């Protein structure tokens, strides 16, 4: 089980981002953690080894990433996976047929699809509720509820859940609060500090930051959950390759620098868009017009680079998406390069149209992942594309 080095929690965020979980390699003192390309480890006798037996269970490059991200989230244990979805699927293996989960209604389309199309078939049940209102969460809890799962801010509607309130409901119900922290990153939000039990990420996004790998990671401070997760890691095997771990670890070294720029570009672009198309059309928790701006300021220390903007119709969205030159039309987010997408037809196509309408996720909604380019170039690009 990967446990952090306790001393890693003593330093500031930037120092942790660069150093946590990593120690000079013992053979030559290489400052960078090597990519341990191995499937197995030589043992000296039966039951005698250096703590490593087979690489599905443990890999030193993976462990360095796990310790690093755990330290950034203020957690003692970390578990890396082959994708954000593989991570969530493994977390859900903590539960059984008959268990009930309260899930935010506004979540990544793939999260809804996993629950709705696979885990429901396997006997788990889900209530999808508007977690902006803690009362909706409490009302949905039943005697069979084992977890409350939220994404905050949500993909792509940028809705927030009050983490302290959700954690308190989970505690009272004797269940765990699981938080997808992909959009905020630990630089701007650390849900464990508000009482969450498990925090997970698609490392594909801000943690890696360079759009060159797919991965996921879960962290926790709960020793018993950690033990069960380690069992699932080894038994179910949704583990990442060591080179992907190395890429993610290279990414986290600059997380603080990138997030500052994503945030300043995000704020400037959201402000400009609000003036250009009307602040009721721009979804960004950093705007004072966002209905949960006060909550955002309370539980986040910055707002990041994700913005959604309502353009009215799919045709209007398509026209804008075809015209951008600096932004690229693509799924994913959180990389240094700016991306733009249409959630209804792309990342959330697996959510039925009727359900998207009920959520307020319209065909004309466009999502921006503001990268770290010059903000003037990004605004000029949007200006010409909006026409």
Tell me which residues touch ligand P1T (CB under 6 A): 83-85, 108, 110, 151, 155, 180, 182, 202, 204, 214, 216, 331-333, 347
Beta bridge partners of 150: 179
**Of 53 and 116, which has the nearer Cβ to ligand P1T?**
116
Q: Would residue 36 show up in a list of annotated catalytic residues for this protein?
A: no
- 303: alpha, beta or left? (left if phi > 0; alpha if psi -120 to 50): alpha
**Of 16 and 348, which has the nearer Cβ to ligand P1T?**
348
- Taking the complex as a whole, the smallest distance from the CB of residue 332 to ligand P1T amounts, in Å, to 4
Catalytic residue of the set 180, 244, 263, 381: 180
Catalytic residue of the set 108, 187, 206, 284: 108
In the chain, which ranges are E strands?
A: 77-81, 100-104, 125-129, 145-151, 176-180, 198-202, 216-220, 282-283, 306-310, 328-329, 339-341, 365-369
CB count within 10 Å of CB 121 equals 8
- Give CA separation, 254 vs 10, 127, 280, 352, in Å: 19, 38, 34, 38
**Of 173 and 344, which has the nearer Cβ to ligand P1T?**
344
b or e along 152-173 (b: 16 or more beta carbons within 10 Å of the residue's beta carbon)? bbbbbbbbbbbbbbbbbbbeeb
| Torsion over CA: 154, 339, 89, 184 (sign) | negative
Strands 365-369, 306-310: pairing is antiparallel
**Contact by Cβ (8 Å): 101, 147:** yes
- Taking the complex as a whole, the smallest distance from the CB of residue 82 to ligand P1T amounts, in Å, to 8
- Taking the complex as a whole, the smallest distance from the CB of residue 241 to ligand P1T amounts, in Å, to 14
Q: Would residue 180 show up in a list of annotated catalytic residues for this protein?
A: yes
Alpha helices (runs of H) in 25-180, residue ranges in sequence order:
60-73, 84-92, 109-113, 134-140, 163-173
- Taking the complex as a whole, the smallest distance from the CB of residue 306 to ligand P1T amounts, in Å, to 9
**Contact by Cβ (8 Å): 199, 179:** yes
**Of 95 and 108, which has the nearer Cβ to ligand P1T?**
108
Q: Which residue lies nearest ligand P1T, judged by its C-beta?
A: 84
Catalytic residue of the set 56, 93, 261, 297: 56
- Taking the complex as a whole, the smallest distance from the CB of residue 90 to ligand P1T amounts, in Å, to 12
Q: Would residue 41 show up in a list of annotated catalytic residues for this protein?
A: no
**Of 141 and 296, which has the nearer Cβ to ligand P1T?**
296
**Of 219 and 333, which has the nearer Cβ to ligand P1T?**
333
Catalytic residue of the set 146, 205, 258, 367: 205
Cα of 206 vs its chain's centroid, Å: 8
- Taking the complex as a whole, the smallest distance from the CB of residue 72 to ligand P1T amounts, in Å, to 17
Residues designated catalytic: 56, 108, 180, 205
């Amino acid at each position: 089980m990967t446990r952090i080095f306790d001393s890693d929690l003593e330093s500031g965020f930037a120092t942790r981002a660069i150093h946590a979980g990593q120690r000079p390699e013992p053979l030559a003192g290489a400052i960078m953690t090597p990519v341990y390309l191995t499937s197995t480890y030589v043992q000296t006798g039966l039951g005698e080894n250096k703590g490593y037996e087979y690489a599905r269970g443990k890999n030193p490059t993976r462990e360095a990433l796990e310790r690093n991200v755990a330290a950034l989230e203020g957690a003692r244990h970390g578990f890396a996976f082959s994708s954000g979805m593989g991570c969530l699927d493994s977390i859900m293996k903590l539960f059984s047929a008959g268990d009930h989960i309260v899930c935010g209604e506004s979540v990544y389309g793939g999260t809804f699809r996993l629950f709705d199309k696979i885990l429901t078939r396997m006997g788990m049940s889900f209530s999808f509720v508007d977690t902006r209102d803690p009362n909706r969460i409490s009302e949905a809890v039943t005697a069979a509820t084992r977890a409350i799962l939220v994404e905050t801010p949500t993909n792509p509607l940028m809705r927030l859940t009050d983490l302290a309130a959700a954690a308190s409901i989970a505690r009272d119900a004797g269940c765990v609060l699981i938080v997808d922290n992909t959009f905020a990153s630990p630089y701007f939000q650390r849900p464990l500090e508000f009482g969450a039990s498990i925090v997970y990420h698609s490392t594909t996004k801000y943690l890696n930051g360079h759009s060159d790998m797919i991965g996921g990671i879960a962290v926790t401070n709960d020793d018993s959950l950690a033990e069960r997760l380690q069992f699932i890691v080894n038994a179910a095997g949704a583990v990442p390759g060591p080179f992907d771990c190395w890429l993610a670890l290279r990414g986290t070294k600059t997380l603080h620098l990138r997030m500052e720029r994503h945030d300043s570009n995000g704020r400037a672009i959201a402000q400009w868009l609000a003036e250009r198309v009307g602040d009721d059309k721009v979804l960004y928790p950093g705007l004072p017009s966002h209905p949960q701006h006060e909550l955002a300021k309370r539980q986040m220390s910055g707002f990041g680079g994700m913005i959604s903007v309502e353009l009215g119709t799919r045709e209007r969205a398509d026209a804008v998406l075809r015209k951008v030159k600096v932004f690229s039309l693509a799924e994913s987010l959180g990389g240094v390069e700016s991306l733009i997408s249409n959630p209804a037809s792309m990342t959330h196509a697996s959510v039925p149209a009727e359900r998207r309408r009920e959520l307020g996720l319209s065909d004309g909604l466009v999502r921006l992942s503001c990268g770290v380019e010059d903000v003037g170039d990004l605004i000029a690009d949007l200006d010409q594309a909006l026409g």
